[in-house]
Structure 1
Amino acid sequence: MTHTTKNDPVRAGLDRRGFLRRAGLLAGAGTVLPLLGAAAGPTASAAGTADGDPDQLFQAGEFAAAGRIYARQLHRDPGNAHAAGQLGYIDLLSNRFTRAEHLLGRAQRLAPDDMTVRRRLADCFVRQDLLARAAPLLPAAQAEQLASVDGTPYAVDGPQATRVPFLDVDPLPQVRGAVNGGAPATFVLDTGAMGLTLTTDAAQEAGLAPVSSTAVTINGRTVTTYLGVVRTLRLGEFELHNVPVSWTDGSIMAFPDGTVTAGTLGTALFYHFLTTIDYRGRALVLRRKTPAQQRAFRAEAARTALRPQPLWLAGDHLPCTPGMLGGYGPRVAVIDSGTLDCGLNTSAANAERAGIPVDWDHPIPVNGGTATVYPATAARMSIGAAVAHDVPGTVGPTPWEGLTGFDLLGNFTHDFFKPFAVTFDYTAMHLFVG
């Protein structure tokens, strides 16, 4: 069954220098369990009070301060749908699922037509693999995909952890994986992608039949994205079962050097594990999210003086953490790791605040020519004690704010992380970079 929706071209993210553009795929949409057609930001606004304006605090990434005021507003006015919805989203950012479900459910009952609240409540269930509860909240194509998952999503056979060596770290990290018992193929790691995405050829080779499909408009071109479920996905010593997947009609995924890959692995897969993308050691490390694995990793981090940073999961798949550009910050930055030949995407306003010089004489068309960015180099950028110097980047329109619902310092991406190992702990909601 086919369902039609329109996608804002900015949702496609910045141009991947021919990689995702040739794939006809979205960076962070049209992938596993995409919530297509949902509103991107709050649909209502709460007036400021004597406590201050919680919307302004939330927009600035001051989530705890905003949450305290939203809570007081909700206490004074139990019918305040906006306060309930925002407070629920703040809990969802930190995977506090019980509170998020309660508050987002309350907001939905108070404002049943609020599609943002509906999308966030669905994501609260999806993150917990409660797909039957998420399905009624989703567009028909995604609901059909979830209903077709027979068994536990991302069920794992294998040891407690596995290490999958990189084939290469550039232009993006690549590992070998096998779908439905087929031959091993090359997959790209990209935290800005939703989950498992395949090319058309890879989907055909795996014998996949779509459960549903949706027509998506990207940069003025309408393509069909197919949704299905992979029986098995082998990564290292792990065999994953019941993995939602998407592929786009006629898509290929080729790097600028002509290397063709089979698909991407993204955040919806990564948040099922204690995941390390070890750029320095050139490997993907997946650990089961057990107390023993958590303790072992934290002990290892303590021995190397690796300090945790806050981790938020915004929208339905975008990891965020405090970052700094030079002496500006800390402010919330997004981690969409899949931008080629780049370590930073930020706005002109943030570049000016951080004192980053911009090469305005050499514009770069992106998103199929619908937008323009400009080269820039960050003399210093950092997450906690992880510091990188002279990082190449771009300045111009940034799409991530529309997906997260709050202001961002920018996107910290591939070239920034190359000297480091990056661990995403979606249980304790900590990020480790070092």
Structure 2
Amino acid sequence: MTTGGQWNRRSLLRGAAAVAGAVATAPLLGGVATALGSPGDADALFRAGRFEEAGRAYEQILKTDPTNAHAARRRGLVGLFANRFADAEKHLKLAIELDPGDKTTHEFLADCYLRQDKLALSVPHWQAIGEQSYATWFAAVRGEPYQIHGDVGEARFLKMDPMPLMEVSLNGGPARNFTFYTGAPSMGVRGTVAKDAGLSPVASQKIDYEGGSIWVHYGVLESFRLGGIELRNVPVGWSTTESGEDVDTDSDGMIGTWVFYHLLTTFDYAGRKLILRRPTPEAAAQARADATRAGAKPLPLWLMNDHYLHSTGSVAGSGTRVVGTNFGGGGEMAAVVFGDTAERLRIRTDHDRPLETFAHSSPAVTYPCYPKEIRLGGVAAREIYCESHPAASVAPLGFDVPVSFFHTFWKPSTVTLDFTGMNLYIAPGRAT
């Protein structure tokens, strides 16, 4: 994809590289009160994560200036964040009419169609931004993708660290050890697993990968089964070296966000299992009731840049902010704080022990840090190991994200994601 596209493809392969997944939503903290000196400043509201207010402000701009492509694009983006597709589509189409060559808007509209399983409608927009592999991939999917069979599927974690691992089945074959990571978009499998499952690529692309080159292939999986639930006609990716060998052997495959947003998804870290349910109104109501009994209130859930999940939380007394929420993957840190957040909030940081890693396929340096508290809803961790990423760049989507939560933070808790109501529920302990 045009925004961090290189990492999106790498995410199919390496769920353990959690820091890199976080960097798609970058730093920014502070200056909100100053920026909001003008109540009608729509961009300042958007930057502060006050999306609904920003949306209304952009609407006011469009009433007086109906040719304002920026306002139309941002208004569409506010709708897209919350999966309000008709609203998003209306304004993103207007933005493209006003500025046909704007690749960012084409990407947003492609994502809008992708989330609705209108894959054919997304194709011309992938082509408009030069993503021919994606265009070919989605044009090749015949019939309804992600067809759901069954009502509930559960898979216990075979192990928790360095990343969750569980058993699934592909095309009716033997059990495979899969992990999951919401820093990745689609489902990915190892090259040899793809071959064993009888997958053939409909598109392939050579990309740069950690100082070398690999081939990324795209195809369609007939059947994916996890416990009592089965998905059919699933877009899937895999990768090989130039000589045809596997790129990564940490697991047989990985489930990404595109799969999860088709379901009512529960990450029961405390109970060491993944629960996938058909997203019916009854199932959503039950999830809400279970969360209420556990003392959890619904938090907002936003889906941004096609697979990155966000809610509201805080770090080191920052007050409520938009935060990244990453499930799966690996790593010992509970969170990554971005930019100068650690410095601004006086978070204890060990600059003498730099950590060399990768972010967006480029070398990056992070530092151990220990916030007094990080919090999401009623769940908090204090003086826990995190990492500071001072060089993280400003996010292209234009809103402030001081921190992103990762694998270790969730371990005592259960988290349910409701992509219909766009709510996140987090409660301590196991799922009821």
Give the alignment's TM-score, normalised by structure 2.
0.86
Task: Report the Cα distance in structure 1 between the residues aligned to 2:168 and 2:101, rounded to whole angstroms.
Answer: 41
Tell me the distance in 2 between the aligned counterparts of 1:19 and 1:298: 29
Letter in 1 for 2:134: Q
Partner of 1:165: 156
Q: Does 1:206 align with 2:197?
A: yes
Structure 1: which amino acid aligns with 2:350?
D
Q: Counterpart of 1:378? A: 371
Letter in 2 for 1:372: V
- State whether structure 2 residue 101 is matched by structure 1 residue 106: no
- Asked if 2 retains the 8 angstrom alpha-carbon contact of 1:341 and 1:414, the reply is yes
Tell me how far apart the structure 2 counterparts of residues 376 and 418 of structure 1 sit (CA, whole Å): 19
Is the CA contact (8 Å cut-off) linking 2:169 and 2:226 kept in structure 1?
yes
In structure 2, C-alpha distance between the alignment counterparts of 1:12 and 1:209, rounded to whole Å: 18
Counterpart residue number, 1:407 = 400
Q: Is the 8 A contact 2:339 2:391 kept in 1?
A: no
Instruction: Report the Cα distance in structure 1 between the residues aligned to 2:393 and 2:302, rounded to whole angstroms.
Output: 14
Which residue of the other structure, out of 84, 92, 96, is the alignment partner of 1:96?
A: 84
The 1-side partners of 2:67 and 2:177 are apart by 51
SS at match of 1:82: helix
- Residue pair 1:191, 1:266 contacting (<8 A) in 2 also: yes
Compared with structure 1, are the counterparts of its residues 11 and 394 closer, same or farther at alpha carbon in structure 2 (3 Å cutoff)?
farther
Q: Which runs of 5+ in 2 are unaligned?
A: 27-35, 428-432
Q: Give the match's secondary structure for 1:74.
A: helix
Q: 2:65 aligns with which of 77, 80, 99?
A: 77
Counterpart of 1:180 in structure 2 is 171
**3-state DSSP of counterpart to 1:141:** helix
* Paired residues of 2:15 and 2:181 also in contact (CA < 8 A): no
- Pairing 1:295–2:285 present: yes
Q: Which moved more, 1:315-324 or 1:212-221?
A: 212-221
1:253 aligns with 2:245: no
User: Is it true that 1:277 corresponds to 2:270 in the alignment?
Assistant: no
Separation in 1 of the partners of 2:142 and 2:165? 29
Contact 2:8 2:185 in 1 (8 A): no
After superposition, the Cα gap between the structure-2 partners of 1:414 and 1:49, relative to the gap in structure 1 and judged at 3 Å, is closer
Q: Structure 2 vs 1, CA of residues 9 and 147 (structure 1 numbering), >3 Å: closer, same or farther?
A: closer
Say if 2:394 is the partner of 1:430: no
Aligned to 1:44: none
**Which runs of structure 2 are paired with 1:25-424 in the superposition (5 Å)?**
27=21, 51-138=39-126, 139-158=131-150, 160-250=151-241, 251-254=246-249, 260-337=250-327, 338-367=329-358, 370-397=363-390, 402=395, 404-424=397-417
- Distance change (3 Å), C-alpha of 1:188 and 1:100: same
* 1:165-204: CA deviation from partner (whole Å, max 9, x where unpaired): 1111211211111112221111112111112011112111
Query: Aligned partners of 2:375 and 2:109: how far apart in 1?
Result: 33
Secondary structure of the residue that 1:145 maps to in structure 2?
helix
Q: In the TM superposition, what whole-angstrom CA distance separates every residue of 1:322-377 from its partner, at most 9, and x where no partner exists?
A: 11112112111111232411111112411123332111001111117721111112
- Structure-1 separation of matches of 2:341 and 2:9: 21
Encode CA deviations 1:227-255: one digit per residue, 9 max, x unaligned: 1110111111112101101112234434x
Q: CA–CA distance in 2 between the matches of 1:399 and 1:200?
A: 32
Q: In structure 2, how many angstroms separate the alpha carbons of the residues matched to 1:82 and 1:273?
A: 33
Q: Structure 1's 351 and 308: CA in aligned 2 closer, same or farther, altered over 3 A?
A: same
Question: What CA distance in whole angstroms lies between the structure 2 residues aligned with 1:432 and 1:19?
Answer: 23
1:12 Cα offset (Å): 7.9
RMSD: 2.7
TM-aligned CA distance change 1:244 to 1:209, over 3 Å: same
Deviation at 1:397, TM superposition (A): 4.6
Structure 1 310/229 Cα, relative in aligned 2: closer, same or farther at 3 Å?
Answer: same
In 1, Cα distance between equivalents of 2:183 and 2:340: 23
Q: Partners of 1:400 and 1:344 in 2: how far apart?
A: 17
Cα displacement (A) at 1:126: 0.5
Q: In the aligned structure 2, how far is the partner of 1:366 from the partner of 1:299? A: 41
Displacement after TM superposition at 1:152 (Å): 1.3
Residues 313 and 136 of structure 1: CA distance in aligned 2, closer, same or farther (over 3 Å): same
3-state secondary structure, aligned to 1:224? strand
Q: Aligned pairs, how many?
A: 402
Q: What is the rounded CA distance, in whole Å, between the counterparts of 1:170 and 1:354 in structure 2?
A: 30
The 1:242/1:383 distance shift into structure 2, 3 A limit, reads same
Distance 1:170 1:355, change over 3 A: same
Q: Does the Cα contact within 8 Å between 2:349 and 2:370 map onto a contact in 1? A: yes
> How far is the alpha carbon of 1:207 from its aligned partner?
1.6
* Per-residue deviation, 1:418: 0.7
Q: Which amino acid aligns with 2:115?
A: R
Moved more, 100-109 or 366-375: 366-375
Identity %: 37
Instruction: Confirm or deny: 8 A CA contact 1:153 1:241 kept in the other structure.
Output: yes
After superposing the two structures, state which structure 1 stretch, 347-356 or 313-322, moved more.
Answer: 347-356
Query: In the aligned structure 2, how far is the partner of 1:230 from the partner of 1:11?
Result: 19
How many angstroms does 1:85 deviate by? 0.4
- What do the CA deviations read for 1:290-326 (whole angstroms, capped 9, x no partner)? 1111122222222222211011001110110111112
In the alignment, which residue of structure 1 is the partner of 2:29? none
CA distance in 1, matches of 2:167, 2:391: 31
| Alpha-carbon distance change, 356 to 163 in structure 1, aligned in 2, over 3 angstroms | same
